[in-house]
A and B are shown apart, each in its own frame.
Chain A
Amino acid sequence: MRLGKLFLYITFFGASSLCSQNKQLLYDFYEIPQSLMLNPGVKTLENWHTGIPFISGLSFQAGTSGVTVNDLFANDGIDFTTKVRERVLDAMTKRDDFSTTSQIEGFNVGFRGKNRPDDYYSFGIYGETDIIVYWPKDLAILAFEGNGGANIGRNFDLGDLSLRGEMVNVFHFGVNRKISNTLTIGGRAKVYSSIFEFKSTKNSGTFATTQGQDNIYANTIIADMELQTSGVEGILDILEEDTSTTQKDLASLFAKRVLLGGNLGLGFDAGFTYNLNPQTTVTGSVLDVGFIYHSKDIKNYTLKGTATNEGIDIILPEDITNLGVDLWQELVDEIEESVPFDDNDKGFISVRPIKIYGSIRYNFGQAQTSASSKDCNCLINTVGGGQNEDFYRNSVGGQLFLIKRPRGIQAALTGFYQKRFGRAFSLKTTYTVDKYSLSNIGLGLNLQAGPVNFYILGDNLLSYQNIADSHYASLQFGFNIISWNGN
């Protein structure tokens, strides 16, 4: 229980290194090579880059659209059961969710084509964990209050149970091509190697207790529920063995699945950057259009059927021959036969959670002529080509983010301002509205000293006043080595 509480604490605090699922600060922040992962068609100016392994892109995020840690665990003297009832059971809906996403970049390398300098190639590996659990409102009320008392006659929706989780390792290779001075496009191919996945997202049915037709109460269940898992049984088997080699066995299993030994899948990203005019740029990208086919280490559980229970019934004289029968066990068997709890190992396909980004940016604050800019190798927004280039130090605009979730599409809208101070320093500030917050202000810094690049992007900064009361907190950082323009 203490470990569980500690995990809850860390998860909701989102301490140390965190990043939002929606990476609005990183998106189109083209001075940072990792922006290629959010738009393969982003403007690329570097000659080559290499991320410092395992610390080029670290992120961890946890969010709750409903109750916060502080709502429940603040030392406020209010009875805990009362807080759970008022702030969780009565307040949260089945559209509220708890989610956590983390990502570790193994390595990330990019280089410009020697014979085709308009092409920029990048590749790498990253590991990602993503879990979302929707609040099962009716089931929680059923567990908390029961089906008796005031809940006689209430329909409990079994479809409220919806959750999905996975750990996957991704191998990727991308090409970014400058088609013209106004258009850059890009694509990235991905191979997914699943470490584990579980999902239960298409449940339906009801449970209700009503006035019986014959007896006082009738309990009726109509169920069509399924939990699909892959990779979970193997991990649980090792944990249950609990021998001296458990840790080693677990590490070996993970290593095997990380290196394409798990259930595999394919996917792609695509994106573009287009200059409508010298000062206006639109971008767009679609990420993780793909699937994983799960065929190894599968265990699926189902609960399907319909049953009504009004207790043991004896109707005389018809049931006179039943006088010696074990009626209770017969009733239990009948219910189990009508609504069987089964398992199977049928393979299944899971579609990746598709993400879409889009933005429009207006550049202004013309600062230098092309000649002096070229001399200083300043990293500023350039458009046009040939002799008449304009350089802009400021950008302002809006971004839209969409992600496909089990209960529909989640969206976030961002307004941003970006300022560049030559090549050494650029800054981006954002204001985002989404399901979790209406007061999300973020700040991103990109620092360059010689070839060493360091970026740090902090989201939802106002939550730092009381992080326990935040619906999520976010911070991402990384180190790269970047070569600009032949340096």
Chain B
Amino acid sequence: MKRLLFFNLLALTVFATSTSCSEEQDFDQFDDLSVTPTIASSIFYLESDEQFINTATVVTDFYSQTFNFDAFNEQFVAERLLEGMIIYEFENTTSKQLNITVEFLDETNGILDTENFDVDPNMPESFSREVTYGPSGKNLNILTNTSSLRVTGRNLSDTTSVSSLPEPKIIMKSAAEFLFRLK
């Protein structure tokens, strides 16, 4: 009798615990997950005092440099870049009318795009410009093909005057905020 009870209880408990209820689950939903972080970082900072502009100006250029910039060119980044913008900010306390250009160059130094900034003299307050890339702006391929940047500073005024503002200098700041698709 005890043995019969034992095996009946055994069968009942194993049966009861091997079955359970669950609402319907759909694991394929994971494929629908969208992860699109916004990444922000500074790119380039240029500062020059007025004395250097006066002494370094050759014809009109006082500064020109090409430097590698592969941030957007990396395969991982290039494949996932969706949209974003580059922000440029300027302060000019010199007495000079200046022109700053930023050229986006590909691997063969071909020019993909140019940003041109005319900066008025004696302007202590900063002004900024946002350049968007993606569906509502310039083509993203400009960035994904960029291998280097060329920044050129041109002095459109004389080479002798000095501003009356304290520590006169031109400052250029730049940063990027971009949307990526991680998944």
Q: Which residues does A use to contact B, with CB under 8 Å?
A: 1, 5, 8-9, 13, 15-16, 69-70, 72-75, 79-81, 84, 142-149, 151-152, 209, 212, 214-219, 309-317, 320, 323, 325-329, 424-425, 445, 447-450, 452, 454, 456, 458, 464-469, 473, 475, 477
What is the bound-complex CA distance between A5 and B33, given in angstroms?
Answer: 14
Min Cβ gap A279→B in Å is 29
Cross-chain contact A145 with B38 (CB below 8 angstroms): yes
- Please determine whether A5 and B44 come into contact, CB atoms closer than 8 angstroms: no
Q: Using A144-B37, A146-B39, A215-B173 as known contacts, say yes or no to A75 and B26 having CB atoms under 8 A apart.
A: yes
Q: B30 on the interface (CB 8 Å rule)?
A: yes
Given A328-B69, A424-B5, A425-B9, is A8 in contact with B27 using a C-beta cutoff of 8 Å?
yes
* Docked-complex contact A311 and B42, CB < 8 angstroms: yes
Residues of chain A within 8 A (CB-CB) of B89 are 216
Checking A16, A209, A315, A449 against B2 with a beta-carbon cut-off of 8 angstroms, the contacting residue is: A449
Residues of A close to B20: CB separation below 8 A: 15, 464, 467, 473
Q: Shortest CB–CB separation between residue B170 and chain A, in angstroms?
A: 9
Chain A residues, Cβ within 8 Å of B174: 215-216, 311
Q: Give the shortest distance, in Å, between B77 (CB) and chain A (any CB).
A: 13
Cα-based distance from A475 to B39 in the complex (angstroms): 46
Enumerate chain B residues within 8 angstroms of A424, measured Cβ to Cβ: 2, 5-6
Contact status of A70 and B49, CB under 8 A, knowing A216-B42, A219-B41: no
User: Are B65 and A454 in touch, CB under 8 angstroms?
Assistant: no
Given known A145-B37, A326-B68, A467-B20, contact A217–B180 (CB-CB < 8 A): no
Supply 12 A–B pairs (Cβ within 8 Å), ascending by A.
Answer: A8-B27, A70-B23, A80-B29, A147-B40, A209-B40, A217-B40, A311-B43, A325-B67, A424-B6, A447-B10, A466-B22, A467-B22
Residues of B within 8 A of A452 (CB): 6
Which secondary structure characterizes the binding site on chain B?
Answer: mixed
Q: Given A80-B32, A212-B42, A311-B174 in contact, is the A466-B23 Cβ separation under 8 Å?
A: yes
Check if B37 sits within 8 Å of A143, measured CB to CB. Answer: yes
Q: Please, which residues of chain B bring their CB within 8 A of the CB of A217? A: 40-42, 175
Distance between Cα atoms of A73 and B32 in the complex (Å) = 11
**Residue B76 interfacial (CB < 8 Å):** no
Whether the pair A80, B33 counts as a contact (CB closer than 8 A) is yes
B147-169 contact mask (Cβ, 8 Å, vs A): 1 or 0: 00000000000000000000000
B87 within 8 A of A: yes
* Given pairs A146-B38, A456-B14, 8 additional interface contacts (CB within 8 A): A81-B32, A214-B173, A216-B173, A219-B42, A309-B42, A316-B56, A317-B51, A473-B20
Contact in complex: A448, B38 (CB < 8 Å): no
| Known contacts A81-B33, A216-B175, A447-B6: A314-B25 contact under CB 8 Å | no
A464 to B22, CA, bound (A): 8
Measured between beta carbons, the chain B residues less than 8 angstroms from A320 are 52, 56
Alpha-carbon separation in the docked complex, A214 to B45 (Å): 8
| A468 to B23 CA separation, bound complex (whole angstroms) | 7
With an 8 A cutoff between CB atoms, is B70 at the interface? yes
Asked if B182 is at the interface of the complex by the 8 Å CB criterion, the answer is yes
A126 vs B47: C-alpha distance when bound (angstroms): 68
In the assembled complex, the Cα of A207 lies from the Cα of B105 at a distance in Å of 32
CA distance A323 to B67 in the complex (A): 9
Which of the residues A13, A146, A314, A465 comes within 8 Å of B45, measured between beta carbons?
A314
Residues of A within 8 A of B48 (CB): 315-317
**For residue B178, which residues in chain A have a CB less than 8 angstroms away from its CB?**
148
Closest to A78 in B: B29
Q: Complex Cα distance A464/B21, Å? A: 6
Instruction: Say yes or no: is B35 at the interface (Cβ < 8 Å to chain A).
Output: yes
Q: How far is the CA of A13 from the CA of B35 in the complex (A)?
A: 26
